[in-house]
Structure 1
Amino acid sequence: MTTEEQKKTAQEELDQAQQAAEEAQAAQENLVEGDVVEEAAESDAVASEVAALEEQLAQAKDQVLRAHADAQNARRRAEQDVEKAHKFALEKFTKELLPVIDSLERAIEAFDQTGADAALKEGVEMTLSMFVSTLGKFDVEQLNPQGEPFDPQFHEAMSMVPNPEVEPNTVIAVMQKGYLLNGRLVRPAMVMVSKAA
């Protein structure tokens, strides 16, 4: 082999080696690009999974907050129901006792009209006083709206009478006293109301 042939062969080998190196470099670049694409795809998948998990966490937190609020509301309602039950447990009993008070008051009025024994009248007055004060210990209040403005929430108008001496819609007579239990109306006062003449 001559030098020229050796040079040519060497050049061909060099060209082949250079081409092989270029191919290797291209393959490596393709591999790196594939890794980058693959990594990008993996990071997108991870990001979407993280977003989905964050959404589930937010929903779970919301459900826990709602459940906690519902539990608090239920507990508060139960406490209010128990409180009302304690407060107004005597309502039916009180309603049953009111006719007794009415009878004692009528008896005192009858003593005044007939002029009966003063000692007997005094005994009935003391009994009535004890009865009313005992009911007062259990937060039962008497409504005697004589001279007050008519209030339909607490008074029941039995009749309206013209009376120029007082303002219209003023209670001028109480036929039957009303009663409250812990501020709640048990029985309205039966009243006579003035009207303009």
Structure 2
Amino acid sequence: MSKELDQAATEAEKVIDTEINADEASLVDELTQANFRIEELEQQLAAEQAKVAEQQDSVVRAAAEVENMRRRAAVDVEKAHKFALEKFVNELLPVLDNMERALAGTSPTDEATKAVYEGVELTLKTLIKAVEKFGVTQVDPLGAAFNPEHHQAIGMQPSEDHPANSVMMVMQKGYMLNDRLLRPAMVMVSQGK
């Protein structure tokens, strides 16, 4: 009986070993499948994180673009406000020139033209003050160094009274609107001695 018991014990051990090996194999299969699933989930997570990063970058770029558009629009509005009067002022420049010519053609000491001179002078001063309120300034460079950005040279003449490359005569004053040149001053430049 002992042999039978030993044999039964051996068979039981074999069955147990087989079941343990089957359980171990099953556990190994489950662990392998779990590892495969974990790797798959990690890849999906990495892909989703990349999408999120891409979308965040897209949102940041869109916000920057909107901010740039706002800035450009603000600059355009500012320029429109600053230079809206440009066409109107350009239409007034010949009026200012004609009033200055009228002053040059009359004399404050001549009784016949004294009243006209005073009236034109007062009107010219009032008009100049009015346009100065809106950012218009005169460019009257008599005696100053020639500046090609603000002056238009009509010609050059030798002169002992004026240094070389200085404005010796202004034929027509120039005008600026908020530091933008509307019309250059037309000048005669000295060549010096």
Is the pair's TM-score, using the shorter chain for normalization, greater than 0.5? yes
Post-superposition offset of 1:184: 0.9
Bigger-Rg structure (1/2): 1
Task: Return the match for 2:81 from 78, 86, 93.
Answer: 86
Task: Return the match for 1:12 from 4, 7, 21.
Answer: 7
Q: Hey, what's the Cα distance between the residues in 2 that align with 1:114 and 1:161?
A: 32
Question: Which runs of 5 or more residues in structure 2 are unaligned?
Answer: none
Secondary structure of the corresponding residue to residue 141 of structure 2: coil
Post-superposition offset of 1:32: 1.7
Q: Which residue of 2 aligns with 1:25?
A: 20
Task: Return the match for 1:105 from 89, 100, 104.
Answer: 100
Question: Which runs of 5 or more residues in structure 1 are unaligned?
Answer: 1-5
Post-superposition offset of 1:179: 0.6
Q: TM-score, normalised by structure 2?
A: 0.93
Residue identity opposite 2:68 in structure 1:
N
Q: Hey, what's the Cα distance between the residues in 1 that align with 2:43 and 2:147?
A: 68
Residue identity opposite 1:36 in structure 2:
L
Post-superposition offset of 1:59: 0.7
Residue identity opposite 2:162 in structure 1:
V
Q: Which residue of 2 aligns with 1:182?
A: 178
Q: TM-score, normalised by structure 1?
A: 0.91
Post-superposition offset of 1:113: 11
Seq. identity, %? 42
Kindly report the root-mean-square deviation, in angstroms, between the aligned alpha carbons of the 2 structures. Answer: 1.8
Q: Which residue of 1 aligns with 2:38?
A: 43
The alignment status of 1:62 with 2:57, answered yes or no, reads: yes
The alignment status of 1:142 with 2:138, answered yes or no, reads: yes
Aligned residues: 192
Give yes or no for contact 2:107–2:114 (8 Å, CA) kept in 1.
no
Q: Which residue of 1 aligns with 2:127?
A: 131
User: CA offsets per residue over residues 157-181 of structure 1, 9 Å max, x none?
Assistant: 1111223443322111111001111
Q: Hey, what's the Cα distance between the residues in 1 that align with 2:48 and 2:147?
A: 62
Secondary structure of the corresponding residue to residue 106 of structure 2: helix
